[in-house]
Structures are given as structure tokens and as C-alpha cells.
Amino acid sequence: MFVPVIEGEAFAHPVGKIVCVGRNYAEHAKELNNPVPSAPILFIKPADAAVALAPSFAIPADQGSVHHELEIAVLIGSRLRAADEHEVAAAIAGVGLGLDLTLRDVQARLKEKGHPWEVAKAFDGACPLTEFLRADKVADWQAIALQLTRNGDRQQQGNSGDMLFPVLPLIAHMSRIFTLNPGDVIMTGTPAGVGPLQSGDELSLQLTVTAGAQLSSHTRVE
Ligand code: ZN
């Protein structure tokens, strides 16, 4: 059970499910030779995928390459079912960063056979999460910057303004398929620059919501 932290305080609910969107930035779809989707590609990671990102997290050994996908993570604070964008905005408790860890070689084999992705993306520990900032810090959901450096090199850099499916309508869409409950987390897709992690890597993650509302996290891959 993983309890999210919002600005130093434990949230009232543990993480439930994690609803994710694939290929939400055109540049990332291109780098993996995937078509740009016309509707959001959704998948779920279960509660046990959620772990603390810092001070370190573990990656599976002996399963081929484990890719980092840096994503804006949205923490749901109240129940949403078939919600509109205004209801979604009012129900969000926090914004942070997560890594959608992906067993890329395993995923490639599954995709080739047309099989589901869960084994590659929904395993225990597949979603390390930072602390969250309070959602009232967000003035514009489509002007949030995110960045990942790995061993001092900038690996991923993006801005939510480049999303194919913007945050509030995306979550409204999700809520028509899956009821969202307090503690659920939305992973909003990764910008370009995904790549493999190695044990011993040092990672720095940065989220800039506004000039006065930033979050940075440093961690080590076990
Ligand atoms: Zn992802």
C-alpha cells in the first residue's frame, strides 16, 4: 500500500488504481514508430505498481531493457464518474511526477503478438511517484514543464502544452470508462526521450507548474 504525500502531508487515501494514457505526445509516438492515435490509448497499473520514487527504487533484473517514461502524475481527490472538465478540475488533489516503467523488450514481444501490455507495464513497482504539489498551485494544466536528467545528462524534457489529449478533457474521458476514486492516480503520457535505466543510475526529476511552484526529486536506481 502506497500513501501519496502532498507537500509533506500524507494523503487521506492510499493509491488505488493508476490510469495511464499511451502516446499522448506526438514526438514520443514517433520515436517508437507508433502512429499518432486519434483517441486516447488507455491502460491501468494496479495499486501495487505505486512506490516512492525517492530516495531509490528498484527495477526488474533479467527481463531486458527497463525504460523510464517521465510523466505528469495527477492525484484524484474525490470520486469522478462521467464527469465534465469543471468537475474534474475541482476533484484533483495534487500534481506530481511519475515514471511509467516499461519492460521495452517484453512489450515489443507482446505487441508483436497482439497481446495485452500488463506484464510489461503493470508489475509491482512499475510506477515510482514523487511527492505531489497541491492542485490549487496549477493555473494552467497545459503549461506545465517536466524534465528528467540521468547521470547528469538531460534525457527527457517536455511541456503539457504539447499533449495530444489535454489533462482535464482526458480525465473526463477516462471517468466515462472507469470510475475514479480518491487516491487514484492519472499518468498523462510521456514526452520524447525515453530510454533504458541501469542499476546505479542517478536521476533528477523536475516539475515546473509556475515560477513559484516547482518540485524536484533526486533518486537512485537500485
Ligand atoms: Zn507512459
| Tens of pLDDT, residues 5-20 | 999 999 999 999 999 9
Residue 131 alpha carbon to ligand 1 centre in Å: 19
pTM of this structure: 0.97
The C-alpha torsion from 102 through 173 and 2 to 64, rounded to 10°, is -10
Total structural domains within the chain: 1
Measured distance CA(60)–CA(211) in Å, rounded? 36
Say if 24 falls within a structural domain: yes
In a domain, 6, yes or no: no
Residue 206 is predicted with a pLDDT of 98
Domain assignment of residue 182, yes or no: yes
Q: Which domain holds residue 136?
A: 11-141+161-221
Decide if 146 is inside a domain.
no
| CA 66–ligand 1 middle distance (angstroms) | 12
Centre of ligand 1 to C-alpha 71, Å, is: 7
Map residue 96 onto helix, strand or coil: strand
Classify residue 3: in a domain, yes or no: no
What integer pLDDT is reported at residue 36 of this predicted model? 87
Q: Is residue 155 part of a domain?
A: no
CA of 33 relative to ligand 1 center, distance in Å? 15
CA distance 184 to 16: 5
Q: Answer yes or no: is 153 within a domain.
A: no
Q: Which pLDDT score is estimated for 29?
A: 85
